[in-house]
Amino acid sequence: MQDRIAFVAGTRPELIKLAPVINSINAYVIFTGQHYDKNMSDDFFNLIKCDEFINLNFDQKGIFDHTKDMSKKIQSVLKETVIDKVVVQGDTNTTLAGAVASKLQNKFLYYIESGMRSYDVGQIEEYNRVIVSHLADINFCNHNLNKDNLIKENINPQKIIVTGSTVYSSVMQIDLDKEKINDKEYILLTLHRPENVDDKDRLNSLMEAINSLNFFTIFPIHPRTKKMINSEENNYENISFIDPQDYESFLNLINHSKFIISDSGGVQEEASILRKPLLIPRNYTERPEMLEKFNLLTPTPKNVTDESIKLINGESKLISNIKNSDLLYGKDEVVTSIVQNISS
């Protein structure tokens, strides 16, 4: 009898990265809706082909606001659907909730994108990564550095498989030949991490620095960020605020941009595949293997300004480095490897 497999996801990046694997396996999808936004998530539901899509309708203002309550709900679903194997991905509270639920129900747990470490103890995602790596029966890693991180934490090497990232397959299924959103050259900006948007002074300093470049900037504003910024009260004349984009439109924004400023880990991978320079307004990154080749850390607003000016003027080392660097996380063979391991 074939094993019954469930994928647990709750955010847009998780759906993006899991879709190529889900579509290659007969499986259930348990969606918590942790960061649900109609414009950001509905387009991905149409991309998923699965035996059953179970939407928990997670309400961040209600009872499922806590990871433990999410985990309890996931456990109920695992019992009712008689699941044998569970797959989680990434570093969100949904990832942790799914992993804990899996082990409490004695299910075999696979963890995609395991072994990433920023070593930033102020970041809740770092704790999620470490805990889930130790709970997993099999850890799928993007890169050998991730494997090394796990071995340093005394995780059994037999539980670690370096596969690469599924993002290449996600990107390649999209039509990247759409017309530009406008005729101007532009910077693409995304911000959503707590360290950037929960501190209004930090957020305003970043916005003022980017606006001061006098270069047209497109900002698809994340729901989390929108709550913290009022564009009508601030004179950001060089920044165009737009609604969150579906995945195809967003990848086309990346593809046609001059460069990107983003604190998103997923965008780092997507930008590298499309060979676009990226500045990371953070102190740390869980993907250090990409630094200098495809992106740079720019922790202060001044760093963002200085490196942006170099990119605008064609003087940044990233421009040539990107052209000469091999992709780090594999291509279509990644999904095949993960599917074979989960199905075996």
Tokens found for residue 321: 């480095």
CA distance 28 to 92: 20
**Cα angle for residues 51, 55, 56 (degrees, 5° grid):** 135
> What are the C-alpha distances in Å from 16 to residues 29, 43, 63, 176, 252?
13, 10, 27, 16, 15
Q: Is 35 a catalytic residue?
A: no
Which among 66, 134, 192, 222 is annotated as catalytic? 192
338 burial level (CB within 10 Å; 0-12, 13-18, 19+)? buried
Q: Are 63 and 85 in contact (CB under 8 A)?
A: no
Q: Which residues are designated catalytic?
A: 192
